[in-house]
A = this chain, B = another copy of it.
Amino acid sequence: MKETKEIQTEPYMHQYELNRLFPGEFKNQMKAYHFSKGDDLFTTGEELEELYFLVEGKIKIYTLTPEGKSLINRFKRPLGVIGDVEYVKGSPVINSVEAVTDGVMLAIPFADLKELEAMHPQVIRFLLETVAHKFYSESQATSMHMLYPVEVRLASYLLSISSDGEGTLFHQEMRTANLTELAEWIGTSYRHLNRVLKKMASEGTIERSNGIIQIKNLESLRTLANGNIYE
């Protein structure tokens, strides 16, 4: 991820209403970074020194298993905040972050943020809200993973991206590019995802060809999802 002077931070700060959080000379402390698809942005264990705002593009937060397999915790689109927990706790990065598309981040040094807290408590409230929301989202996702088998999770995913679930940014965020990435998102092996897809196809719930999945029986899918939907 490269810092760049070619990107104006002001349009993004305006677009995402960051000016009210970073008044006066603090907005001048904002840097802009550009990243490219596939870039490793942050690595587990790394120490951060800035708070980041994703203002363009899509990233994924993932965990590597001991076998080197990737499990996707979350996708993110603008406006996403990265480094808030690390800032508050002073601990290293928990999960790795990779660019799914090209994009832009704004960043402000932790030192400036520290100063700003004293002068402008609204920023503390903002951070509280982002961290609380993260906790909530992560809890939901964790419950899904811990409590339901792959079939239920897949049905929930398909419901989310069907026209039924579409409309929220989150659902756009979540759409995966191929079956390998879908397996990583749902938290299973590529092989097992195929078993479940095949089973759903044989039941007439979906129809698939060459990685393209078409929902044939929405009701059946709702039943399989067991009241859950990825959100």
* A residues adjacent to B (C-beta < 8 A): 63, 65-66, 71, 84-85, 88-89, 91, 94-95, 117, 121, 124-125, 127-129, 131-136, 138-140, 142-143, 145-148, 187, 226
Contact = CB atoms under 8 A, between A and B. Distances in A.
A136 B94 CA distance: 8
Nearest to A145: B146
Copies in the complex: 2
Nearest to A125: B124
Nearest to A152: B66
Query: Main secondary structure on chain A at its contact with chain B?
Result: helix
Select the residue from A133, A135, A145 with max chain B CB neighbours within 10 A. Answer: A135
B95 A132 contact: no
Contact of A63 (B71, B89, B146): B146
24 contacts: A63-B146, A63-B147, A66-B148, A66-B226, A85-B132, A88-B128, A89-B129, A89-B132, A94-B136, A94-B139, A94-B140, A95-B139, A117-B125, A121-B121, A124-B124, A127-B128, A128-B128, A131-B132, A131-B135, A135-B138, A138-B138, A138-B142, A142-B142, A146-B187
